[in-house]
Chains A and B, each alone.
Chain A
Amino acid sequence: MSEAASRPPLIDCARAQLRVIGALVIREMHSRFGRRRFGYLALFAEPLLLAGTIALIHQTRSGGEGIRGNFEFFAIGYLLFFNFRGIVTRSSGTIPSSLQLLYHRQVTLPDVFYARHLIESVACTGVMAIFVFAAIAFGGDAPDSPMKMLAAMGLMFLLAQGFALMIGAATSEWHGIERGIHVLTYLSMPFSGLFFMVDWLPTWMQEIVIWVPMVHIFELLRDGQFGDRFRPVYDLSYVAAWILATHLIGLAGLRVARRRIGLE
C-alpha cells in the first residue's frame, strides 16, 4: 500500500468502470440488434414470445388447478429461467467475440461479461413487468410482494453471472467446453424449480432438490408472486454462498485468463 497515494482514488476508478460498462452495453446492443429503428424491440420480443407460448402450451396441456394452472406460473417462471439460460449459454462466446476490445486498456474482461448480463436481465425484468401488468389487466391477482419477485430476478442474475464468469474463464482455458454448456443448461431445466414447488414433492425428492440453488430462487419468486397460497421453502443464505463461491472462482479465473490472452 506504499503507492496508494500515487494512485487515483478508488471512486474515480469505479466511475470509469461504470462508464466502460455503459459503453459496452451500447456496443453490445448495436452488434446484436443492428442500428435499425426498432431493433432493440427484438431484445424484449424474444423472451416475451418464448415465455408466452410456453405458458400457453402448459396451460392448455395440463389445465391444472390452483396456482399450477395459472398462466403466470409458467410465464414468469420461464422468464426467470430464460434469464439464467441466456446469461449462461452466451458466456462461452463472450471472450472470443470481444478480443479486439481488450486492446483498449480500460476495458477488462469482467466488464464485457457485466454488460451482457445487464442486457439480459433488464430485458427479462422488463418482460416480467409486462406479464405482471397484463395479468392484472386480464383480471388476475396482483403479486403478493413485487419486491420479492425483483429480488429473485436479482439473485438469478447474480447466480447466473457467477456461473457465466466461471464458464467464460474455463472456455478460454479449455476449448470444447462450450459444446456441453447448452446441453447442461437445457438439462438443468427440470431440476430448476420451473415446473414444481418443493412443497408438492414427496419428502425424499424434497431433500434432493433442496440442494439446487435455483430451486430456492424459484421459491422466492413464487412466494412473491402467490403469497400465502402455498408453503415456500427457501434459504437465501445458501443461494448467497453459491453466488459468492462462483464469483470468487469466476473472477479469479478471468484474471488468469486475461494474462493468457495477453500473451497470445
Chain B
Amino acid sequence: MAHPFTWWVLLPTAIVAAYFYLVAAPQYVSETRIVVRSRAEAPTVSLSGAISSAMGGGGGASSVESNSVREFLLSHDAVMRAQDRLDLVSIWQREEADFWARLAHSDPERLTKFYNSMVSAVFDSSTGLLTLRVRSFRPEDSKAIAETLLELSEGLVNGLSERAREDALRIAHAEVGIAERRVLAAREALTGFREREQDLDSAGTAAAAAQTIAALEATLTGARAELRERMAFMRADNPALLATHNRIEALERQIMAERTRRTQGNGTLAQQLASYERLVLEREFADRQLASATASLETARMDAQRQQLYVARVVAPNLAVYPLYPRKLISVGSVFLGLSVAFGIGWLLVASMRDHAA
C-alpha cells in the first residue's frame, strides 16, 4: 500500500478516472462534411489545377479553396462572426458544463483557443471532403454551431467566387465600353461629314459623276462620227456641218469642265471621296471591334459561370444522441500508461542514483 507506485501512478489515475466517470459533463459531437466544388465540367488546364491533380486532388473539388475554407473555419474571424450570430460564449459556459471542460474566459483570444479545441476541420485531399466536427455540451448547440459555421463558409466561398467573377468580367466589360464609344464616334463623324458636305453618299455621287462623263463622252463620240459622215458628202460651209462642229466643241468643253470640277482644287469630289472612305473604314473597324469585344464578354461570362465555386453539403450536421466525448477509457488508459512509463524511468533513474551511495 505504501509502495511509491500507488502514490505516483494509481492515485493520479484514480483521480483522473473519478473526474471522467463522475464529474465530466457529456459532450455531443455534430459532424458535417462538405465539398467545395467548381462548376467546371471539363478539367481545367490551369497551373493550379495541374498541381492539385498531381498532388492527388479530387476531380472537380478544388483543394486550394477547400484549404482556404478550412483555414477560415479555424480562424479568429470565423469565431467572431459565429459569436455575433450565436453567442458561443454562453453555449460553452452552460451550467451543465463541468469546471474543467467549460470555457473559462470570454476574451476573444482565449475564446479562439477554446474554439480550436472544440471545433476541428480536416481536409482530406484524396476525396476532397472537408470534415467539420463541433463539440459542445448540448446536442442542439453542436448542431447550431455546425450550421452557423456552414453558412459562414458558404458566405466565404460565395464571396470568393463573386470576386473572381467580377475580376474576370471587369476587363471584358471595359473592352466592350471602349468599342462602343469608338462605334458611336465613328457614326457621329460620318453623320457630321454628310451634313457638312450635304452629300449622303460620296461614293454614289462619284459614280454618278463618272456616269455623266461617260455619257457625255459617248455623245461626243457619236457627234464626231456624225461629223465624219457628213463631211463626206457636204460642203465645208454647209450650216448643218457647222452645227455638228459646234456641238462637238460644246461637248468637249462640257467634259473638260466636268473633269475639272470633280478632280481639281479644293472641295472637289476626289477629296470628299477620300475623307468619306476614311470615315466608312473607321466605322467598319469600330463595328468589328465591338463585335469581337461582345463575343469575348460572352465567353468570359460563360467561363465565370463554369468556374463558379459553391459549397456542396455531402453530410448535413447531425443531432447527437449519445455523447462521444469525453473519451473516458482512452483518456484514463493513456494517463495510466503515461504515468507508468514515467514512473518506470523515474524509478530506474533514482535506483541508478542510489547505486552511487558509497
Chain A residues with a Cβ under 8 A of chain B: 1, 7-8, 10, 12-14, 16-17, 20, 105-106, 108, 110-111, 202-204, 244-245, 247-248, 251-252, 255
| B358 proximity list for chain A (CB < 8 A) | 16, 105-106
Q: Are A203 and B55 in contact (CB under 8 A)?
A: yes
CB < 8 Å: which of A105, A202, A245, A255 contacts B351?
A: A255
Q: Does B315 contact A (CB under 8 A)?
A: no
Q: Are A108 and B55 in contact (CB under 8 A)?
A: no
A131 to B338, CA, bound (A): 38
Chain B residues with a Cβ under 8 A of chain A: 2, 4, 55-56, 125-126, 338, 341-342, 344-345, 348-358
Q: Which residue of B lies closest to A2 (CB)?
A: B2
| B355 proximity list for chain A (CB < 8 A) | 105-106, 108
Q: Which residue of B lies closest to A8 (CB)?
A: B357
Q: Are A108 and B125 in contact (CB under 8 A)?
A: no
Q: Which residue of B lies closest to A11 (CB)?
A: B353
Q: Can you give 30 A-B contacts (C-beta < 8 A)?
A: A1-B2, A12-B357, A13-B354, A13-B356, A13-B357, A14-B353, A16-B358, A105-B355, A105-B358, A106-B355, A108-B355, A108-B356, A110-B352, A111-B352, A202-B56, A203-B55, A203-B56, A203-B126, A244-B338, A244-B342, A244-B345, A245-B341, A248-B341, A248-B345, A251-B345, A251-B352, A252-B344, A252-B348, A255-B348, A255-B351
A96 to B4, CA, bound (A): 35
Q: Which residue of A lies closest to B358 (CB)?
A: A106
Please give the distance in Å from B160's CB to the nearest CB on chain A.
Answer: 21
A6 to B349, CA, bound (A): 20
A252 to B341, CA, bound (A): 11
A248 to B2, CA, bound (A): 23
Please give the distance in Å from A164's CB to the nearest CB on chain B.
Answer: 15
A10 to B352, CA, bound (A): 11
Number of A-B contacts (CB under 8 A): 58
Q: Knowing A1-B2, A203-B126, say if A248 contacts B348 (CB, 8 Å).
A: yes
| A7 proximity list for chain B (CB < 8 A) | 354, 357
| B352 proximity list for chain A (CB < 8 A) | 17, 108, 110-111, 251
A108 to B351, CA, bound (A): 10
Q: Knowing A16-B358, A203-B126, A255-B348, say if A10 contacts B353 (CB, 8 Å).
A: yes
Q: Is the interface of B mostly helix, strand, loop or mixed?
A: helix
Please give the distance in Å from B100's CB to the nearest CB on chain A.
Answer: 20
Instruction: Given contacts A244-B338, A248-B348, A251-B348, list 18 more A-B pairs with CB under 8 A.
Output: A1-B2, A10-B350, A13-B356, A16-B358, A106-B356, A108-B355, A108-B356, A110-B352, A202-B55, A203-B56, A244-B345, A245-B341, A247-B348, A248-B341, A251-B345, A251-B352, A255-B348, A255-B351
Q: Which residue of A lies closest to B4 (CB)?
A: A1
Please give the distance in Å from A7's CB to the nearest CB on chain B.
Answer: 7
A8 to B356, CA, bound (A): 10
Q: Are A16 and B356 in contact (CB under 8 A)?
A: yes
| B2 proximity list for chain A (CB < 8 A) | 1
| A203 proximity list for chain B (CB < 8 A) | 55-56, 125-126
| B125 proximity list for chain A (CB < 8 A) | 203
| A10 proximity list for chain B (CB < 8 A) | 350, 353-354
| A1 proximity list for chain B (CB < 8 A) | 2, 4
Q: Which residue of B lies closest to A114 (CB)?
A: B352
Residue among A13, A16, A110 with most chain B CB within 10 A = A13
Please give the distance in Å from A207's CB to the nearest CB on chain B.
Answer: 10
Q: Which residue of A lies closest to B344 (CB)?
A: A248
Please give the distance in Å from A16's CB to the nearest CB on chain B.
Answer: 4
A130 to B307, CA, bound (A): 53
A223 to B125, CA, bound (A): 24
A105 to B352, CA, bound (A): 12
Residue among B338, B352, B354 with most chain A CB within 10 A = B352
A106 to B353, CA, bound (A): 9
Please give the distance in Å from B143's CB to the nearest CB on chain A.
Answer: 31
Q: Knowing A244-B345, A248-B348, A252-B348, say if A17 contacts B356 (CB, 8 Å).
A: yes
